[in-house]
Amino acid sequence: MTNPVRTIAIDGPVASGKSTLGFVLAQRLGYLYLDTGVMYRALALAALQAGVPTDDEAQLEELLQHTRIEVQAPNVNDGRRQTVLLNGQDVSWEVYQPQVERHVSRVAAFPAIRRAMVREQRRIAAAQPVVMVGRDIGTVVMPDADLKIYLRASTEARAQRRYHELRARGQQVELADVMQQLRQRDAQDTERADSPLQPAADAVILDNTALNVEETLQRVWTLIVGRTVSEH
């Protein structure tokens, strides 16, 4: 029996657990995993490296035209979920630097940048079964996705998760700062005019404040199995 759920969109705010869920789900299904956030992060990093102001849409667009961003399956066994290449250089970890984090929401708010990224994401989605993770996947990138999940969790739970994640990566951060930046990025992502973060009308909203990864996965798996059975 083939699985009719071939395109899965996962959206949600910072540290809602969407990348972790998307990754384990893609592995279990044998689908391509694409966390689209790294594409915006790679452009923000490219801008910082080139000295291009991250509040200048025209210059960013120009930069993007001359920048090669590639997202591949991990080719190094160091805990990464994707390998990110910026003009052929491995920046899989650099894209998570605090400096990039401070600028990325601004870069991602520009319509010209979003248009180019969405075009590329749709091209990838058309080629194979995929679990795609981001902010606008169910609303804009794959409005016809077979399953749309919108993950949410309390701000406190998300700040805790991000704090532990950053500490585990060796970054000397404080919880209060993590919380403040998370709030700021949430606000930027939900208040922007172009493709703001919001659940698609037909998304399943899942609050995982009190759920661990395995429990969250189990809920989503039940949805997939339910759809598979109901189609036959």
Binding site for ligand DC (CB under 6 A): 14, 36-37, 40-41, 104-105, 108, 134-137, 185, 189
Cβ-based nearer residue to ligand DC, 91 or 189: 189
Q: How far apart are CA 185 and CA 40, in angstroms?
A: 13
The answer to whether 166 touches 178, Cβ cutoff 8 Å, is yes
Cβ-based nearer residue to ligand DC, 5 or 142: 142
Q: How far apart are CA 108 and CA 113, in angstroms?
A: 7
**Sheet strands (E) in 6-146:** 7-11, 32-35, 69-72, 83-86, 89-90, 130-134
Cβ-based nearer residue to ligand DC, 5 or 189: 189
CB of 1 to ligand DC, least distance (A): 31
CB of 199 to ligand DC, least distance (A): 14
CB of 134 to ligand DC, least distance (A): 2
Cβ-based nearer residue to ligand DC, 29 or 192: 192
Phi, psi of 137 (to 5 degrees): -70, -50
CB of 85 to ligand DC, least distance (A): 16
The answer to whether 148 touches 9, Cβ cutoff 8 Å, is yes
Residue 93: CB atoms within 10 A of its CB come to 13
CB of 2 to ligand DC, least distance (A): 28
Contacts of 228 (CB under 8 A, 6+ apart): 1, 3, 4, 5
Cβ-based nearer residue to ligand DC, 93 or 231: 93
The encoded tokens of residue 112 equal 């010209």
